[in-house]
Amino acid sequence: MKKALNNFESKEPLLVFNWKDSESEAEGWTIINSLRGDAAGGGTQMRKGLNMKEVLYSAKMMEMKFSVSGPSIGGAKSGINFDPNDPRKKEVLKRWYKVISPLLKSYYGTYGDFNVDDINEVVPITEECGIWHPQEGISNGHFKHTEADKINRIGQLRHGVLKIIENSKFSPDVSRKYTISEMINGYGIAEAIRHYYTLYGGELKGKKVVIQGFGSVGAATSFYLTSLGAKIIGVIDSEGGLINEEGFSIEEIRLLFLTKDANKFVSKHKIPFEVINEKIWMIGAEIFAPCSTSEKITQNQVELLVLNGLEIISCGVNMPFADSAVFYGPIMEHVDNKVSVLPYFISNCGMARLFAYFMQKEVKMDDETIFNDISQTIKDAIMKVYSLNTSKTNISARAFEIALKKLDKIKS
């Protein structure tokens, strides 16, 4: 498996498009790892200091993710090295999407990602560039829809991805009008944990959880896990966090969710980062959900988690470990041999599956059906791993093996 994974990791991507903005210091990349099925998909992110290597490996991880979520297409990613808090952000995005619009029209589908918003940025800006929907390239390249079919599927995408959640089971507050796309990745990470305990044994209710990162993904993960009866005992982000070893109540987690400042974790009781970072790894987490930025988790932090009762990691971020290798480096291999690790391309495939769902013909548009589809997709992926490996260790190794075999069978 590791040899095949190294070959996949080291293989040159099909296309690297590099852009340097003429009116700012912004630099961007669209990287298409392959055009399996005549198309590729992956979101657009923005971060100061972002580099081409990060975009490349995110594109490769998207290819893994499509092996779970569908459709059978190649992985891609767009990334812009620019400060998302800069007032020039929107103008940078407008110039960026104008430049890559031929790709978006032909064979590349994108959406919002880290620091880039679907509703307020990606959809309206790409529309200004003559793109029907940010996923239009997948419709044209992979599905090759007729004009009538394309109108139907694009209509489903437009309505479905930005659909306001009406069912209180899936929303922390229906009056706040959260969209499915805002909540779906966190839901998937929580459902991956639920399905894990159902298949491998154990009771999710009462399990102690630590969440790393409390942006849209981490906050949603916390909400859904608490709704399932788990106990969030700690939250940590780059500026600090909170600890309650008895577990925060559902109302406390809901309040933390509702008082976020965009993706910023807000609490007047926040413990400084230097203090919480010394303590949180030893407070007895049985479940750990890394939902922050990549390459954060160190060997020492992993050891402390394992020594203090860790059972499972459900990865909410690509490349969570501070590893030398991207997909399955020494730290990930070490922890995969010790506890259960659900890889990112399974636990965080919610958004990718959401797009695949709405590209089907005449699907149901109610909350229950949509969320259940994502849950079932993740369950199916974990069941495939379980069929090869009933042990609670080496889950990620088997998951990579399954994904690589599937990708190898799909014509490039």
* pLDDT per residue rounded down to tens, the chain (412 residues): 888 888 898 899 999 999 999 999 999 999 999 999 999 999 999 999 999 999 999 999 999 999 999 999 999 999 999 999 999 999 999 999 999 999 999 999 999 988 999 889 999 999 999 999 999 999 999 999 888 898 999 999 989 988 999 999 999 999 999 999 999 999 999 999 999 999 999 999 999 999 999 998 999 999 999 999 999 999 999 899 999 999 999 999 999 999 998 778 889 999 999 999 999 999 999 999 999 877 789 999 999 999 999 999 999 988 889 987 778 889 999 999 999 999 999 999 999 999 999 999 889 999 999 999 999 999 999 999 999 989 999 999 999 999 999 998 764 4
Q: Is the dihedral of CA 49, 55, 57, 58 positive or negative?
A: positive
Q: Which pLDDT belongs to residue 366?
A: 96
Runs of H (alpha helix) within 142-236: 147-161, 180-200, 216-227
Q: What is the Cα–Cα distance from 146 to 135, expressed in whole angstroms?
A: 15
Q: Which pLDDT belongs to residue 262?
A: 78
- Label the pairing between strands 40-41 and 108-109: parallel
- Label the pairing between strands 287-290 and 312-314: parallel
Q: Are 263 and 182 in contact (CB under 8 A)?
A: no
pTM of the model: 0.94
Q: What is the Cα–Cα distance from 136 to 109, expressed in whole angstroms?
A: 6
Q: What is the Cα–Cα distance from 320 to 335, expressed in whole angstroms?
A: 12
The beta strand positions in 280-339, using DSSP E, are 287-290, 312-314
**3-state DSSP assignment of residue 13:** coil
Q: What is the Cα–Cα distance from 317 to 9, expressed in whole angstroms?
A: 18
Q: Which pLDDT belongs to residue 295?
A: 78
DSSP category for residue 234: E
